[in-house]
Amino acid sequence: MATEADDPWVDHPPIVAPDFPIPPGLANARFVLEPLTVAHNVADFGAWMSSVDHIRATPGFGGGTWPDAAMSPEDNRRDLAGHAEHFAHRVGFTYTVLDPASRDVIGCVYLYPSRTTDHDLDVRSWVRADRADLDKPLYDAVRQWLADDWPFDDPDYAPR
């Protein structure tokens, strides 16, 4: 794993119990969620690069520094590797959002520890600008998935 200077989650304890079965994803007629890995790099990079302004306008992303249009595909690959490592160490869970027919990357969902004591989980999601119609359905599906399949009581997920 990265050093603490590079990765704020390096020393964070797991956010789920060791025996908790991590949900492999979520699927419906409009999208599929699966764990994000470096195998998604090219499609992931293209998805968010085509939608920087749209993502920054998405609830939960305002005021942040990501997405950073100056990132290279190699920077993105390292970022995805970090997310995969967080997943393996149970300190954060990032899922790519795929079109069920084409398997194109259309967004992403992040489940990370809350940075405040007000909630037990920080949840963020985005979809590509050309798939903006999926933002609310993704939000609704992820909220239900969290309630049904995850052990969190009070996730912080900016309403749509």
**Phi/psi of residue 60, each to 5°?**
100, -15
Tens digits of residue pLDDT in 15-58: 999 999 999 999 999 999 999 999 999 999 999 999 999 999 99
Q: Considering only CA atoms, which of 151, 159, 149 is closest in space to residue 125?
A: 159
Task: Give me the domains of the chain, ranges plus CATH numbers.
Answer: 26-157 (3.40.630.30)
**What whole-number distance in Å separates Cα of residue 7 and Cα of residue 105?**
25
Number of continuous H segments (helices) and E segments (strands) in the chain: 4, 6
pTM of the model: 0.92
Amino acid at 45: F
Instruction: Report the percentage of the chain scoring pLDDT > 70.
Output: 94
**What whole-number distance in Å separates Cα of residue 69 and Cα of residue 22?**
32
Band (pLDDT 50/70/90 cuts) for residue 6 is low
